[in-house]
Amino acid sequence: MKKKNPLKIFTINIFFIIACFFALLPILYAFSLSLNANSSILSSDFSFIPKVLSLKNYKAVFVEKPVIMWFLNTFSLAFFTVILSLSVSIPAAYMFSEFSFKGKKPIIRILILLYSFPSILSMFAIYKLLSNLNLINTRIGLVIVYTGTMAIFGLINMKGYFDTIPNEIEDAARLDGASDFMVVRKIIIPLARPSIIVTGIQVLIYVWNEYIFAINFMTGSDKFTLASGLYTMQATEKSGSWAVFSAASIVISIPILTIFFLSQKYMISGLTSGGVKG
């Protein structure tokens, strides 16, 4: 049996290296483009390592465009949206998961069905709504829109995970006199950490990359988010350079990857380490 292992390890690693290459392919392309000194996107003789390396595109990203400001805008939007989203969805998910109350099943069904409506189609209606509330050019308005769009997702996703937490753990806690709030805080949240983190990251990514609502609802280029700023940098006929655009895309993606990498640690669920057996 010991003989097989090196081969298995080898194969499995090769498999992942290939998978990663495939996952990275367009990104490597963009990356190499962004390091290229001569800024044409498509060159008939393309190689992954550009012939002339240069960081000038990255410099251009930071110098030509107020990327830092975009970053701050996006960051604050994302931060508030994730906080609001989680603080609103976790209690709701817990309610839907733990208790059965009148109307629960139909509501869940309706929520799932509602999720099938493409949000782009709602833009016009939401615009009318926000302008009546005078929330058009405000961060709050956008945060509310984002949170609302992801609310169903958050609720359903986390409820699913909460469902798997054995009731015995909870009942044990209640027997010890814990209130609902304490149950959620001390038991559910730690145990459901992976799901909460996944949901949080999904919301984060959504807000980070969302540009359609941002462009229409936030006027003024000082309110631009990273995604809307990036959108304006696209190389259309009249403006922009592909290389700078690629550099900008990479720059924008890095924070998310960092967050993801750092949060890996917390994704390991507490369930597997002890708890209730049998």
Question: What minimum distance in Å lies between the beta carbon of 62 and another protein?
Answer: 17
Alpha helices in the chain (DSSP H): 4-34, 56-64, 67-98, 104-114, 123-132, 139-163, 167-175, 180-182, 189-191, 193-209, 212-217, 226-232, 242-263
Question: What minimum distance in Å lies between the beta carbon of 156 and another protein?
Answer: 4
Contact 230, 215 (CB under 8 A): no
Q: Is the Cβ of residue 11 or residue 55 nearer to another protein in the bound state?
A: 11
The CA dihedral of 127, 132, 138, 143, to the nearest 10 degrees, is -60
Question: What minimum distance in Å lies between the beta carbon of 50 and another protein?
Answer: 14
Token pair of 222, please? 């000082």
Among residues 241, 257, 231, which one has the least CA distance to residue 36?
241
Q: Is the Cβ of residue 54 or residue 122 nearer to another protein in the bound state?
A: 122
Among residues 81, 103, 98, 217, which one has the least CA distance to residue 150?
81
Question: What minimum distance in Å lies between the beta carbon of 55 and another protein?
Answer: 19
**Which residue is listed with tokens 């069904």?**
109
Question: What minimum distance in Å lies between the beta carbon of 67 and another protein?
Answer: 14
